[in-house]
Structure 1
Amino acid sequence: MAKIIVVTSGKGGVGKTTSSAAIGTGLALKGHKTVIIDFDIGLRNLDLIMGCERRVVYDFVNVINGEANLKQTLIKDKRTDNLFILPASQTRDKDALSKAGVEKVLNELAKDFDFILCDSPAGIESGAMMALYFADEAIVVTNPEVSSVRDSDRILGMLASKSRRAEQGLDAIKEHLLLTRYNPERVEKGEMLSVEDVKEILSIDLLGVIPESQAVLNASNSGQPVILDSESDAGQAYLDTVERLLGEKVPFRFLTVEKKGLLKRIFGG
């Protein structure tokens, strides 16, 4: 049976869709058949980050409304075997998703996939609530800033009270914390919260810490998940994150300021 994982955040701009693309790609690279669903009706970013925007013919809402089937709608990733995208609609209103319709699509996907990643809109609007409702696990993406962490705390409240698991009295959604845009130098200067600060405030297990990196922007602009840039710190950190999600014990990296050697200090770099 497929595991349904929602990737969510309390506010926009924290790297949620970037994280969905990277983690979905990482799971597929590890041999797990994975589909990423874009729940952000009206905005549609996932297909851009995955570089498949020109291949979108039908979308999630078309499937819910019976205007297309999953075989017609799913986009197979050209770079990574086992990876598929279910794009959002750019033209429909946020309330186009119905609980019954989403459940029907998820049940159909669950027959064929190991992991279903739900890329949620930010905040607590209807699309976000729909994305988290059916989740088995949740990856809460936050930046090390007070406003982002506070908004994430609200999302944790929703996961605990508004999900199918909560309504049916089942085991709670398993929550993971993913900290993005982490900059140890700014933490040392007191401009950002530390990993320990964020863990203390949110009290959920830390899944990954993604360093602030130009590689993330470069990957997004080129329509390629940053996890495929294995030379970059961010790409390596996302791979570590995927391995932890799969239950592997992987030490955390990129948490401290890199001390430059004498030659680097003299000659720069």
Structure 2
Amino acid sequence: MSEIYVITSGKGGVGKTTTTANLGMGLAMRGKKVVLVDTDTGLRNLDLMLGLENRIMYDLIDVTEGRVAFKKALVRHKKYENLFLLPTSQVKDKMSVNPEQLVKLCDELRREFDYILIDCPAGIEQGFKTAIAAADTALVVTMPEIAAVRDADKIIGELGRADKENIKLIVNRIRPSMVESGEMLDMDDINDILSLDCIGQVPDDIKVVTAANKGEPCVASDDSQAGQAYRNIVSRMLGEDVPFMDFHKEGWWTRLKHMFRR
């Protein structure tokens, strides 16, 4: 059975699109047939992350409005033949696709792909409601900062109201030295605030930036600590029991968790 994941966040800039690109490529590296659907209409970046920006002819809006079949809009990755991108429009807005259209499209994609990963716009507006409509599982990306965790808490509440029960957490851009000094939340704090099953802990890594600028997600890099973290998340998505990387110690900000209890 095909699985549909939506990758979402309450706050922009936490690495949601980077996560989508890395997990998609990671699954393709494991032999899965994967399509990444960019629903961040008007602000697409997934094509840049994958180095496919110059190969786009049609987009998500062309498909949902019936101008072309989805297969015609798909862009195959240059290196991984089982990895595809369905880009969205740069000029339309997020109201251009509705939940019913995306659900219908994903039903068609299920017949062709093992994994469908939907890159969701940040926030809780109409674009978010559209992106989550077809998802079997939601991956909420946050950072170990108060504002990001608070926004993630709000997103989790919205997912619950939309009857999305399978929700996993990915904590991105962890800086161990800041965790140890108490300047950044540790995982115990985040777990107590969000009460959500964590599937991934990704350290802050300059190679994420350099890889993205080259259109080559760091998941394919053996010398990237973040790349290893993304590969571990992929293994967990495939049902494997993989321990978390040991790159941080217990922090001291537990008093802050009481501010965010739902």
Q: TM-score range by the shorter chain?
A: over 0.9
Once residues 73 and 254 of structure 1 are traced to their aligned partners in structure 2, the CA distance between those partners, rounded to angstroms, is 42
Once residues 17 and 146 of structure 1 are traced to their aligned partners in structure 2, the CA distance between those partners, rounded to angstroms, is 21
1:198 paired residue number: 190
1:123 paired residue number: 123
Q: CA RMSD in A?
A: 1.1
1:179 paired residue number: 171
CA contact (8 A) 1:29 1:81 kept: no
Once residues 43 and 152 of structure 2 are traced to their aligned partners in structure 1, the CA distance between those partners, rounded to angstroms, is 21
1:43 paired residue number: 43
1:108 paired residue number: 108
1:8 paired residue number: 8
> Residues 173, 32 of structure 1: CA spacing in aligned structure 2 closer, same or farther, 3 A cutoff?
farther
Identity %: 46
Once residues 97 and 67 of structure 1 are traced to their aligned partners in structure 2, the CA distance between those partners, rounded to angstroms, is 14
What are structure 2's unaligned runs of at least 5 residues? Answer: 250-262
Once residues 138 and 98 of structure 1 are traced to their aligned partners in structure 2, the CA distance between those partners, rounded to angstroms, is 18
Once residues 205 and 188 of structure 2 are traced to their aligned partners in structure 1, the CA distance between those partners, rounded to angstroms, is 21
1:96 paired residue number: 96
Equivalent residue in structure 1 for 2:200, among 208, 212, 216: 208
What are structure 1's unaligned runs of at least 5 residues? Answer: 167-171, 258-269
Tell me the amino acid that sits aligned with residue 241 of structure 1: I
1:26 paired residue number: 26
Q: Runs (4+) of structure 1 moved beyond 2 Å?
A: 254-257
TM-score normalised to the size of structure 1? 0.90
Per-residue CA shift, 1:111-140, capped at 9, x if unaligned?
A: 111111010011101111111122110110
CA contact (8 A) 1:233 1:254 kept: no
| Residues 1:240 and 2:229 are matched in the alignment | no
SS at match of 1:253: coil
SS at match of 2:63: helix
Per-residue CA shift, 1:35-81, capped at 9, x if unaligned?
A: 11001000110000110000011000100011111121000111113
Once residues 61 and 43 of structure 1 are traced to their aligned partners in structure 2, the CA distance between those partners, rounded to angstroms, is 14
2:153 paired residue number: 153
Once residues 230 and 124 of structure 1 are traced to their aligned partners in structure 2, the CA distance between those partners, rounded to angstroms, is 36
SS at match of 2:11: coil
CA contact (8 A) 2:179 2:248 kept: no
2:87 paired residue number: 87
| Alignment: residue pair count | 249
CA contact (8 A) 1:211 1:254 kept: no
1:266 paired residue number: none
Rg larger in 1 or in 2? Answer: 1
TM-score normalised to the size of structure 2? 0.92
Once residues 158 and 133 of structure 1 are traced to their aligned partners in structure 2, the CA distance between those partners, rounded to angstroms, is 12
CA contact (8 A) 2:102 2:133 kept: no
2:140 paired residue number: 140
| Residues 1:228 and 2:220 are matched in the alignment | yes
